[in-house]
């Protein structure tokens, strides 16, 4: 299972020291450089919009005092720094192509990526429709056409960069690194899912619903995408599904309290952690059946 994909960790320069240095570079790019960008953007935005009246005020520059879209841009910048760190680590430290984090084949299977995106997008839409019918009033129409028209192109551009950075690191880089020592798919999935969950522990959703169930949903997502990558022998499905998940939230239906702050068409006023977890398990099962039983990987090797 996923042997060719895991073997990509042996390409280029792959000593333990290089992996350690590369991880430090990636984390510094994400939390160091990305953190600075995350803090600076609101200040620059406020200075540009207020002009001479601008005064540095830690209250108004806190997440609670900022426009949702500014928060989204600041978060996106931190993930772009994260993505750049991954690319630099692959090229400069490991001396291998970043493509090998996605596939062991000669070319990326864009059709497979599209399948992951399309299937998860449809499942997300059906799941939201079911929730809206079961719980009337939970979904509130909130479209501000002018704001949406301005923000939507940037959300379409930046959100896939954010999700790709996460996939390339957690289901790409870490999965291949740990695969040098262990080949048991369950161990690899659990280990990478636990690490994937850790950065999400500060998300505001944990304070708005049962935190144990919210954490369980992050962990389950990590398990699904890791096993999908190993079974499919490539990252394309996970890249597509993760992008679809966050784009649906960012554009169509987002929680009122969310780490991904956008002006979506609908706002979900309540986070029902029990329903959300059950919904995810059903969606994951259907996703698995569709992509592995009904749809096939292209021959691109």
pLDDT in tens, 140-199: 999 999 989 999 999 999 999 999 999 999 999 999 999 999 999 999 999 999 999 999
Q: Left (φ > 0), alpha (ψ -120 to 50) or beta: where does 140 sit?
A: beta
Least confident span in 113-117, 262-266, 279-283: 262-266
Burial class (CB in 10 A: 0-12, 13-18, 19+), 53: exposed
Does the model's pTM come out above 0.95? no
Strand partners, 254: 267
Which tens digit of pLDDT belongs to each residue from 34-87? 999 998 988 887 777 766 655 555 554 444 445 778 889 999 999 999 999 999
The answer to whether 86 and 97 have CB atoms below 8 angstroms apart is no
Task: Please tell me the predicted confidence (pLDDT) of residue 239.
Answer: 98
Contact status, residue 291 vs residue 115, Cβ threshold 8 Å? yes
Question: What number is the average pLDDT over the span 238-266?
Answer: 94
Phi, psi of 264 (to 5 degrees): -85, 170
pLDDT value of position 64 = 46
């Amino acid at each position: 299972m996923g042997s060719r994909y895991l073997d990509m960790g042996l390409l280029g320069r792959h000593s333990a020291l290089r992996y350690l240095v590369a991880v430090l570079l990636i984390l510094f790019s994400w939390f160091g450089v990305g953190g600075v960008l995350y803090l600076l953007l609101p200040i620059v935005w406020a200075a540009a919009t207020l002009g001479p009246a601008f005064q540095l005020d830690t209250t108004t520059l806190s997440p609670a005092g900022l426009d949702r879209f500014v928060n989204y841009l600041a978060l996106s910048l931190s993930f772009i720094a994260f993505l750049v760190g991954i690319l630099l680590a692959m090229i400069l430290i490991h001396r291998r192509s970043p493509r090998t984090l996605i596939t062991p084949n000669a070319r990326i299977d864009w059709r497979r990526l599209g399948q992951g995106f399309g299937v998860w997008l449809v499942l997300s839409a059906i799941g939201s429709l079911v929730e809206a019918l079961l719980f009337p009033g939970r979904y509130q129409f909130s479209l501000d056409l002018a704001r949406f028209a301005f923000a939507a192109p940037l959300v379409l551009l930046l959100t896939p960069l954010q999700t790709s950075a996460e996939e390339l690191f957690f289901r790409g880089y870490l999965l291949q690194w740990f695969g040098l020592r262990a080949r048991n798919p369950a161990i690899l999935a659990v280990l990478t899912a636990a690490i994937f969950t850790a950065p999400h522990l500060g998300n505001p959703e944990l304070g708005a619903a049962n935190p144990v169930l919210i954490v369980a949903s992050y962990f389950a997502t990590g398990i699904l995408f890791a096993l999908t990558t190993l079974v499919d022998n490539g990252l394309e499905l996970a890249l597509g599904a993760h992008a679809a998940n966050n784009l649906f939230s960012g554009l169509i239906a987002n929680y009122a309290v969310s780490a991904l702050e956008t002006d979506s068409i609908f706002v979900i006023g309540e986070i029902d952690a029990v329903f959300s977890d059950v919904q995810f398990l059903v969606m994951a099962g259907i996703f698995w059946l569709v992509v592995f039983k009904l749809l096939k990987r292209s021959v691109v090797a």
